[in-house]
Amino acid sequence: MDIEKILLATDLSPRAIAALPAVAGLAHRLDAEVELVYAHVPRGASSSTEEQQAQCDIDRHLQALTAAAAAWDLQPRRKVLVGAPAVALRAAAERDRHALLTIVHDAGHRGSASIARSLAAEATTPLLIVHAPMATQSRLLRPEAPQIRRIACAVDFADGRSPVLDAAHALARSLDAKLTLIHVLHARGADVVFEGIRPHLSPPTGSAIEEVHAAQLRLSAIAAGLGDSHVGAHVVAASDIAAGVAAAALDFEADLLVVAPRQLGKVARFVLGSVSDRLLRLSPLPLCVMGEALLRELAAGGDF
């Protein structure tokens, strides 16, 4: 998985700054170029004065974001795209082969969830989704230079060794990071409780104990099949699949969580928004989403 450019999308709000730590951590380690992108649909029948003001607002925001990026030792380029955001951003990412498209998700902003849902379904490049932390969660933005040392990847057993697993493994090797595969066994009564950012998983009971053991053996075999001693496997039981994934990734102290719609089972198949809405609400971790179109391309032998 060769990432040469990281596109950071902004909507002219301050929330884009929340993505800078994760972008910096990846860009420095991968020696990737960073580009700030803003996509918009020009207002119809606007006066030249309004157009000039709009352009000034765009320039001012991109300059401020560039200045903020400098604190993370980034010197990004800037690009303004014309068109509906989801369409224009997807096209920009696909033009720049080996690009990682980054957006910030804000649970209180419907537009960000809609764009995330569209990109996760149709983009043929990986999508990095970073949540916009609430004021009380600002401590989650690390003041020190960010490092991606641990990556968690949610997997299921539907297709055996799936393209998302190979992509996550390639990314981990590129970053010299430890990779842990996570599988959540659905079990009633196995609740997940979050206290701050520390999750508490209820231990499996009854028949779930044997099921977890069997799943652990199966997942460990998949991990061993990668031929890498830095790949681990962790099976947990939870009544809520998304909560189980978030809890297991936090328990592993991951810096990045790799997911795909099928790897989250019925939860994500119901609405792709569950990837951005549910997991970002439960976990402070950035999500690297391998969307449906990308997985189809990789499964067909495509290379990223």
Per-residue pLDDT tens digits for 234-279: 999 888 888 888 889 988 889 999 987 655 554 444 334 454 457 7
**What is the arithmetic mean of pLDDT over 50-79?**
91
More confidently predicted of 267 and 229? 229
**Domain 5-140 matches domain 150-299 at the CATH topology level:** yes
What pLDDT band is residue 1 in, cutting at 50, 70 and 90?
Answer: low
More confidently predicted of 12 and 178? 178
CATH superfamily of 150-299: HUPs (3.40.50.620)
**Residue 54 exposed, middle or buried by CB count within 10 Å (0-12, 13-18, 19+):** middle
List, in sequence order, every residue forming a beta bridge with 231; answer none if it has no partner: 179
**Is the pLDDT at 91 greater than 70, yes or no?**
yes
**Residue 113 exposed, middle or buried by CB count within 10 Å (0-12, 13-18, 19+):** buried
**Is the pLDDT at 27 greater than 90, yes or no?**
yes
Residue 144 has a pLDDT of 55
Please state, rounded to an integer, the average pLDDT across all residues of the chain.
81
Least confident piece of the model among 14-18, 81-85, 154-158, 275-279: 275-279
The residue extents of the domains of the chain are: 5-140, 150-299
Predicted TM-score (pTM) of the model is: 0.85
Residue 110 has a pLDDT of 57
Most confident of 78-92, 96-110, 133-147: 78-92
Sequential DSSP letters for the chain: ----EEEEEE-SSGGGGGGHHHHHHHHHHHT-EEEEEEEEPPPTT--HHHHHHHHHHHHHHHHHHHHHHHTTT---EEEEEES-HHHHHHHHHHHSSSEEEEEEE-TT-HHHHHHHHHHHHH-SS-EEEEE---GGGGGGS-SSPP---EEEEE--SSSSS-HHHHHHHHHHHHHT-EEEEEEEEE-TT--EEEETTEEEEPPP-THHHHHHHHHHHHHHHHHHTTT-TTEEEEEEEESSHHHHHHHHHHHTT-SEEEE-GGGGTHHHHH-THHHHHHHHHH--S-EEE--HHHHHHHHTT---
Most confident of 124-128, 156-160, 161-165, 230-234: 230-234
- Fold observed for domain 5-140: Rossmann fold (3.40.50)
**Is the pLDDT at 296 greater than 70, yes or no?**
yes
Q: What percent of the chain has pLDDT over 90?
A: 32
| Angle at 255 (CA atoms; ends 250, 261), nearest 5 degrees | 75
